[in-house]
Amino acid sequence: MDHVIDTDWSVKSLAEALSESTLLREGEMTARVLEGTDPVLQITMNEFGDLPIFLSVGSEQIVVSALLWPVDEQDNQAAFNVFLLKAQKLVPLSNFGITTVSERDYYEIFGELSCKTTLQTVVIELRMLAENAIRAADELRQNFASAA
């Protein structure tokens, strides 16, 4: 059973814990801290085509996210947005949003966890988010194109 831990995670403590963990398969993922006003952990999911996942830690939650594709490259954006919101419940443990990077909007998939969760739960979330990102980029876009 997964128990809540007493100490909140930070980006740096999660990076250290992931690098020392026996929960990961050899070469499954690599993590590095990106320093800034608020540090972010960039996790490269090697088993998912080197998919980059970004992890940030706030006062109460851990947020993991992956960029999908630029919004302006999506055909029929309004209809796709409705389709995406309806498909939301088919993608376990993840949500969709739009985020701006360098003045360009991107579809994003993300999940949130309590800062007091176990490392095992963080690893499960990272794996699930990577799987969902790949599925979203492939299956959701194909299903939308065939429904349109």
CATH number reported for the structural domain that contains residue 33 in this entry:
3.30.1460.10
Residues of the chain with pLDDT under 50: 1
Q: What is the pLDDT of residue 56?
A: 95
Model confidence, pTM:
0.86
Residue 2 lies in a domain: no
Determine the pLDDT at residue 5. Answer: 67
Residue 5 lies in a domain: no
Predicted local distance difference test score (pLDDT) of residue 136: 84
Domains in the chain, number: 1
79 found inside a domain = yes
* Residue 80, helix vs strand vs coil: helix
Q: What is the pLDDT of residue 1?
A: 45
For residue 67, the model assigns a pLDDT of 95
Task: Let me know: does 93 contact 125? Beta carbons within 8 Å.
Answer: yes
**Is 57 part of any domain?**
yes
**Are the C-beta atoms of residues 51 and 130 closer than 8 Å to each other?**
yes
Kindly state whether residue 1 falls inside one of the protein's structural domains. no
Count CB-CB contacts under 10 A for residue 103.
Answer: 5
Residue 16 lies in a domain: yes
Edge-to-edge order in the sheet of strand 95-101? 29-34, 40-45, 51-57, 61-70, 104-114, 95-101
- Look up the domain containing 16 and give its range: 11-147
| Residue 129 placed within a domain | yes
- What contacts 146, CB < 8 A, 6 or more positions away? none
